[in-house]
């Protein structure tokens, strides 16, 4: 594939506070690279309430939302932009279902089975669609777009 190949896709991945504090970062990054993803960007950061609430705003009316914000602000997270063909759906497949307890049974080789605990503490995030990926990548990395590299360089001129 050539420079700026349009078949490459990007997604937003995050190692959540339980994943970082549980020392799963290196193991997860090894899985990421062995699955063929290129880690385009990464950032270790502590989310505040406003940022976590804005990131998950689609869930703001759900009963679990306050717990989600408390969880996501409980410690540092590692945010990554991952790139490969079919990055969005391949990363969702690799992390497994939302409920880590169920993942341990139905998807025992998934990342959530490895380091998640339950339906809330599930150690990793993945964009659920290409449009979510575009929004979430811009949310954390204003200088990275999900389009090809040539377009980015053009925009930066």
Residue ranges for the known binding site for ATP are 16, 64, 92, 98, 112, 122
The answer to the question of residue 73 lying near ligand RTP (CB under 6 A) is no
51 lies in the site for ligand RTP, by CB under 6 A:
no
Strand ranges (E), 32-139: 38-45, 77-84, 124-126
Residue of 63, 56, 42, 130 whose CA lies nearest to 92: 130
The residue written with tokens 């549980």 in the block is: 22
The nearer residue to Mg ion, 13 or 78, going by C-beta atoms, is 13
The position carrying tokens 């689609």 is 58
CA distance 61 to 77: 24
- Tokens at 131, concatenated: 């449009």
- Out of 11, 110, 122, 146, the only residue in the binding site for ligand RTP (CB under 6 A) is 122
Does 126 engage in binding with ligand RTP (CB under 6 A)? yes
CA angle 6, 154, 152 (to 5 degrees): 50
Concerning whether 109 is annotated as a catalytic residue, the answer is no
What x-and-dash track marks residues 103-132 binding Mg ion by CB under 5 A? Answer: -------------------------x----
Binding flag, residue 119, ligand RTP (CB under 6 A): yes
Q: Which does 84 bind (CB under 5 to 8 A by kind): ligand RTP, Mg ion, none?
A: none
Residues that bind Mg ion (CB under 5 A): 128
């Amino acid at each position: 594939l050539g420079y700026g190949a349009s078949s490459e896709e990007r997604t937003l991945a995050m190692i959540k506070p339980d994943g970082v504090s549980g020392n799963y970062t290196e193991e997860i990054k090894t899985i990421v690279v062995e699955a063929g993803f290129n880690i385009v960007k990464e950032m270790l950061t502590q989310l505040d309430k406003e940022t976590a609430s804005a990131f998950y705003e689609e869930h703001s009316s759900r009963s679990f939302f306050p717990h989600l914000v408390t969880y996501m602000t409980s410690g540092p997270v590692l945010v990554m932009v991952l790139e490969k063909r079919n990055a969005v759906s391949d990363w969702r497949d690799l992390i497994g279902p939302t409920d880590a307890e169920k993942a341990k049974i139905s998807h025992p080789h998934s990342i959530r089975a490895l380091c998640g605990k339950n339906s809330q503490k599930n150690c990793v995030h993945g964009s659920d669609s290409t449009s979510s990926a575009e929004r979430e990548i811009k949310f954390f990395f204003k200088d990275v777009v999900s389009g090809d590299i040539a377009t980015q360089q053009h925009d930066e001129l």
